[in-house]
Structure 1
Amino acid sequence: MKIVTKEEIEEFDKVTRVGAAKGLALGLGTSLPLSVLAHRISPTYRAIPLPLKAFGVVMLTSATTVIWAERAGINYDRERYSQSLYGSEELERQRQAEKEKEKQIKTMDKLKEGLSDHRYSIIVGGWAAAMAGAWAYISRDKYMTTSQKIVQVRMWAQGATIAMIIGTAFAAQSERTKLKEHKPVDHSWMTQLKENPEQSSIQKVTTA
């Protein structure tokens, strides 16, 4: 088990912030020009109130910001702790073991694992998709005012988000339960000593 130091926590926070900044720049740099372009060429989009247009830009920008921050944190964990705990040969062995494991596990297990690993991206992306889909459907109603449409879209998006949060939480909890029942034991140090017996001799001399 590796003890996380204060410096590593600060470095992780820095990496996550950089990822969030990149996502913010990408989201804002994409959604804002698209909104301006749609305003110029689409009469329907021009009829949408300015607060709703701004909300759409904020929604897309927030989604990319969260997704990029999450991915930056995941990549940092994989690179930092894998390299510090294991040698290159052991990492390659683990990669091969993961490939074999992927071939054996069922599709439902893969789905649960994916939901658990990327739950924040899925929730934010699903919320954005629910907002867009609900607006595309409700905007066709000619008898509702714009304010009523916005309220309806928000309610649909909130309901979809709550459902996704419950689903991802259930998947994460079932994964934790499975790990507790079948907690893997790390025997990589035994494999490395078998392949490099001189390290064992050095350790014995050092501790003698």
Structure 2
Amino acid sequence: MRRALFSLLGALSLLMGLGAASSALATTITLTFDEFQTGTAVTNQYENLGVLVSGATAFAAAALAAAANPWPANTPPNIVYSPLGLMTFTLNPAITGNVQSVSAYLSEGVGVNVGIYAYDASGALVGQAIAPANAVNTLVSVTSSGNPIATVQIHDGRGAFFGVDTVTFTIAADVIPVPAAGFKLGPAGDSACFRISCSNDSSRSVVGSMSIRSAHE
């Protein structure tokens, strides 16, 4: 009986440890553009991942490099280049889930301040971030201040060209934390139980319950 009780306490400790974990687990979708030949227009190639792209052409970074303004790839060999100054990523939430943040490595022309602008399904701006002037392979990230992100635009507002690499969309999956649990053993032969739950509040759910019967060795 003591061995069974120790096994039970071990399982309880594991559950309590899980309860101390972060309240959210994150998954990501990452586009590196390295599978394309130079000059390929990136449009629906990532549709199976839930992402449609417009205004982006894949190029080997070396082909765009210039001594005065090199644009290295974050993940060689390719970056995507925006010849018209606007790149758009449209997300399908049925595939991607609820995207809460987006990041990309940006390179820009001299004097250009390219930025990432995130919009929800209604077209409302939910976050933005602008790269510093003359950015080269600079990581820029945006996290939604409200609704999930449905569309992402990258531009400088003036139609200037820029380069982009390693675009990452982060999806947060909520997890209800498991709180500390308590249990009580009655006298030998009596039944006793413990329960792991968030609270008795109707808005919280009981994670699990177990009952045991105490006994002497």
Please, what TM-score do these two structures have when normalized by structure 2? Answer: 0.24
- Structure of higher CA gyration radius: 2
Q: Kindly indicate which of the two structures has a greater share of residues assigned to strand.
A: 2
The structure in which a higher percent of residues are helix is 1
TM-score between both structures, scaled by the size of structure 1: 0.25
